Structure 1
């Protein structure tokens, strides 16, 4: 996928961005929508283990970096990447970064986007391919993928020209040094308890 293309890539988008935002605004509370590659995507509901992983990371962030917050499910405008709207499982940003921004916030100020893989057929394309491209194009310094299928964490860093230039994968159980600007250490042994 090439950064800078329109939201649909080579195909026509299902709808324009304003139509999507209106649809997302009117969607029932239990439905979480994203607009990726010109297509409306329903983000799968979190299961208990997925939610526990997000809470585990939230606790790690607040303990080690009390100046930062992990904001679950904050919608982001990833306009640099095909004018899309993404809803990461978590966005690490300074306290009060999203005050007054509404449902779809600018990604400036986000230091790390976080995704935890879900048990659905689109997770490979969405979390391992499309989301890293989108977050890199939006210049989010880090993308952390917690991959329950592979029992691994992948830290993507150094965004440039719509791609992360550095990618490093760790197994559950490893000690992971998340680089600056987040700068935390994750002891990941506990994640083995949250895999089905």
Structure 2
């Protein structure tokens, strides 16, 4: 659903809109990716549990890191977009003093967990991998609750991720460096419809 004519939506207009959006208990989460205004679905309980599970794994692997939920980032070439990934893995002090839309230069991995909405296919499977690769984020982890798969995107070339590894829930997959975690996806079977 588009509420603003794409021809008048600029980076500055988006940021003003996002700052002044009326939020009912944070129910409205705006993003500006690939030149389009998007509204992210409010996460359900299983979605939140997946992020909590992944946060524990990341901290156990390296306690200097934190998986930040909903951290606003400037993404895409020339930082012309704004995204709120479900999870952003970075050193614990990475975003101190940066404000609502942070520089993603020190980000190790971005995580998206699919929602059960109409925009998930285009947003999480097409637009965000492209935007995150353009930004140079080393690893993009997509936890796809519709297909019961995990997709690990790595080796960004500035346009796309050159490597994409897909495994079904229940298998182990390696999150490549700089993350360096062997991820057992068996628990994900418990948090899907």
Q: How many residues align?
A: 186
Does 2:130 correspond to 1:133? yes
* Contact 2:31-2:83 at 8 Å conserved across structures: yes
- Trace 1:2-81 onto structure 2 (pairs within 5 A): 12-27=6-21, 28=23, 29-80=26-77
- Give the SS at the match of 1:66: coil
Does 2:171 correspond to 1:146? no
- Give the SS at the match of 1:173: coil
* Contact 2:34-2:131 at 8 Å conserved across structures: no
Structure 1 unaligned spans of 5+ = 1-10
- Give the SS at the match of 1:41: strand
Does 2:96 correspond to 1:102? no
Q: Distance in 2 between matches of 1:110 and 1:82?
A: 14
* Contact 1:77-1:85 at 8 Å conserved across structures: yes
Q: Distance in 1 between matches of 2:185 and 2:8?
A: 40
Show the counterpart of 1:8. Answer: none
Structure 2 unaligned spans of 5+ = none
- Trace 1:119-130 onto structure 2 (pairs within 5 A): 119-130=116-127
Change in 2 beyond 3 A, CA 1:15/1:78? same
* Contact 1:93-1:110 at 8 Å conserved across structures: yes
Structure 1 residue 13: Cα displacement? 3.8
Show the counterpart of 2:110. Answer: 113
* Contact 1:112-1:144 at 8 Å conserved across structures: yes
Show the counterpart of 1:182. Answer: 179
Structure 1 residue 82: Cα displacement? 7.2
Show the counterpart of 1:158. Answer: 155
- Scaled by the length of structure 1, the TM-score of the pair is 0.91
Q: Distance in 2 between matches of 1:113 and 1:185?
A: 16
Change in 2 beyond 3 A, CA 1:43/1:74? same
